[in-house]
Structure 1
Amino acid sequence: MRLTSIRCLAVLAVGTLTLGGCGTDGGGRTVDTTIRAREVMRVTQPHDKTGMTLLEGPTFDESGALHVVDVTAPSGAPKVLRIDLDEKTARTFHTDDRGTYTSAQFSPHDGRLYLTDFLHGEIVSLAKDGSDPRIFFSGKVDGVQMNPDDLAFDREGNLYVSDSHGLTEGVEQGRVVRIDRGGKKTEVLAKGMAATNGISFDVDYEGLWVSELTKNQISYLPIDSKGGRASRHVAIRVDGGLAETDSIAVDADGNLYQALHGRPAMLVFNTHGERIATIEIPAPATGLESATNVAITPGETTAYMTVSGPSGGYLYTFEALAEGIRQSNGG
């Protein structure tokens, strides 16, 4: 999620170019490759009540259906949509009169779909068919109300949440919060961050990549075998210009896909912090401002990127540099 959208919500609430990887120049240095994405479909249009639409949190279920959230959907409008990629159709999977959902991911523990409600500081879960909504977590963490943005699960189903607290005030009070899979025990793993946003485990679940929206940087937070943390460090500084670092996904080779708010593109880095690819949409596409997130098909390289702006909320597709895994399916 991003600052301009949250400010608006706060007021309202009260062809494809397929490339296999990067190359090197004559000196052996990594060369940034451009990958052109192609349009799949328009999923949503700007809502009359909110004046915008913002797609986020793409995630596949076991049957291969893709789910996305519309962050700015008003009461009663589809807040979670299920997309049939073959038919290029979208239907309502869930709606309510309250939630402001910024991410979605299926739990490896109970198979339910978990949603982060940014404005209300809650985690909501749904059954696989979209029924049985439950509040999984609500309340303060260490005396502070969360603004949960994205989430990641470990192998046991415990949640790791990017808490963007302080975003609307412009202060560095962001956190990484761990919530046990029962929703009872919480722990702050990191704090004092600049609007924590994207969050994803690395391939071996040894640490978390966490983007800081208002500093355009990606930090790395080692995680021990008990889910605790060691000291974090700034791993990648992103030259975003007017764009800011949004959600993060990780493929089977460990590459990081960094979404950009303020530019309809994604940057791809390897684990050494080298920029190895840029995902761009075709130049003629107008009225699209941000590429918020991506899901790479599990076990395949076909990726689906959520892109939004005044023209609506769209899906674009491209060939990822490696296959999709849990770390590139939601969050």
Structure 2
Amino acid sequence: MRRLPIRSLAGLTAIGLLALTGCGAKTVGSAVDTAAGAGGERTIRARQVMQLTTVHPKTGMTLLEGPVFDEDGKLLVVDVTAPAGEPKVLRVDIRRKTSREFHTDDRGTYTSAQFSPHDGRVYLTDFSHGDIVSLAPDGSDPRTFFSGEVDGAPMNPDDLAFDQEGNLYISDSRGMSEGVAKGRVVRIDRDGKDATVLADGLAAPNGISFDVDYRGLWFSELTQNRISYLLLDGKGRAVSRHIAIRVDGGIAQTDSIAVDARGNLYQALHGRPAMAVYSKNGERLATVEVPARAAEGLTSATNVAITPGGTQAYMTVSGPAGGYLYTFDALAKGIRQSNGG
């Protein structure tokens, strides 16, 4: 949101509210086939499930993000660039291939969604206004959970992760529009009263997810194409951080992150309808791609949700051709860390 920044948001442009100007061939399940990639890793070809949105005339874009399964198995998806009055959060029935409006308003630029383990509500990050908004599980009762400055500076909250007690961890892409590394990782307690900066001096932090054991956080930096690991002390305080993975993205940049039951990282790519999959030790395991014949007009794969307890993954893909849901078989089962955020 920048001159506007260049994130998986792909770059807000100033329109009204601010509109966002990602070895041997074989079959894996019913959704994908694989081949050897350039580095020896697998190439997983995703299959289209359905189209969810078209480009909004008022904003000139559509950008799907933050897929998360609710308790009924329906998938919530945010449309970052939806204008006032149009669905900003969609509830998708994958089996029937239908969707309906879950939430809209005249203000929010929502970039992620996740259910809290503390109160069961769904939390949304409003990138443009620095707010964290929560909704009841049925989409009613909107509340502003957190708003205002953190350590004297406003936030541009992008993605979020919850710890097991329901405290929030936010990737704050502050400074993206200026191209200056002043982004942060921010912790907000589950009551919304205390906010703490855990890491700063970051280059447009975007994806964020706990590892399998909740010992630390993985987070990506969009404008540096890297993933870092932030070790925590068990009380939500940072112990150390280091650059863990440098992503060979070419023209694509690191967007949202999900983690499966084996600890594998699914790194979404802005600028290409694909995801890179890494082991927790940094080994490139696979690349998930939209088939070439379908990729025209699709410019990013922003995020993924893996069915809790299963391996079916659903990836949000967008571009001038519209907003789509694609599916593939994940390398391991879905957990909280691969469901929303």
Structures share fold, TM-score greater than 0.5: yes
Distance 2:215 2:249 in 1: 27
**165, 172, 175: which one pairs with 1:156?**
165
- 8 Å Cα contact 1:59-1:295 kept in structure 2: yes
Against the structure 1 CA distance between its residues 11 and 173, is the aligned structure 2 distance closer, same or farther, given a 3 Å change threshold? farther
In the alignment of these two chains, the number of paired residues is 326
Q: Structure 1: which 5+ runs fail to align?
A: 25-29
Q: Secondary structure at the match of 2:239?
A: coil
- 8 Å Cα contact 2:306-2:312 kept in structure 1: yes
* 1:219 CA drift (Å): 0.4
* 1:143 CA drift (Å): 0.3
Q: Structure 2: which 5+ runs fail to align?
A: 19-25
Q: What letter is aligned with 1:302? A: Q
Please say if 1:289 is aligned against 2:299.
yes
- 8 Å Cα contact 1:60-1:330 kept in structure 2: yes
Deviations 1:173-201 (A, max 9, x none): 01000000000001000000000000000
1:177-216 correspondence runs (5 A): 177-216=186-225
Against the structure 1 CA distance between its residues 22 and 156, is the aligned structure 2 distance closer, same or farther, given a 3 Å change threshold? farther
Q: What letter is aligned with 2:17? A: A
- 8 Å Cα contact 1:58-1:330 kept in structure 2: yes
* Aligned match of 1:27: none
Q: Report the TM-score, using the length of structure 1 for normalisation.
A: 0.95
- 8 Å Cα contact 2:209-2:217 kept in structure 1: yes
* 1:21 CA drift (Å): 12
Please say if 1:145 is aligned against 2:154.
yes
Please say if 1:95 is aligned against 2:104.
yes
* Aligned match of 1:253: 262
Against the structure 1 CA distance between its residues 243 and 86, is the aligned structure 2 distance closer, same or farther, given a 3 Å change threshold? same
* Aligned match of 2:23: none
Q: What letter is aligned with 1:167? A: M
Q: What letter is aligned with 1:211? A: S
**299, 305, 316: which one pairs with 1:306?**
316
Deviations 1:250-296 (A, max 9, x none): 00000000000000000000011010000011110121110000000
1:1-331 correspondence runs (5 A): 3=6, 5=9, 7-13=11-17, 17-18=27-28, 31-285=40-294, 286-331=296-341
Distance 1:275 1:6 in 2: 25
Distance 2:193 2:114 in 1: 19
Q: What letter is aligned with 1:300? A: G
- 8 Å Cα contact 2:34-2:45 kept in structure 1: no
- 8 Å Cα contact 1:93-1:130 kept in structure 2: yes
CA-atom RMSD, angstroms? 2.0
Q: What letter is aligned with 1:3? A: I
Distance 1:128 1:223 in 2: 30
Q: Secondary structure at the match of 1:284?
A: helix
Distance 1:131 1:299 in 2: 28
Distance 1:125 1:287 in 2: 33
* 1:13 CA drift (Å): 2.1
Q: Secondary structure at the match of 1:327?
A: helix
Distance 2:308 2:132 in 1: 24
Distance 1:259 1:297 in 2: 17
Distance 1:143 1:22 in 2: 49
Distance 1:60 1:181 in 2: 21
* 1:10 CA drift (Å): 4.2
Q: What letter is aligned with 2:339? A: N
Q: Secondary structure at the match of 2:12?
A: helix
- 8 Å Cα contact 1:193-1:212 kept in structure 2: yes
Q: Percent of pairs identical after alignment?
A: 71
* 1:225 CA drift (Å): 1.1
Distance 1:223 1:106 in 2: 22
Distance 1:17 1:153 in 2: 35
Q: What letter is aligned with 2:6? A: L
Q: Secondary structure at the match of 1:31?
A: coil
Against the structure 1 CA distance between its residues 258 and 142, is the aligned structure 2 distance closer, same or farther, given a 3 Å change threshold? same
Q: Report the TM-score, using the length of structure 2 for normalisation.
A: 0.92
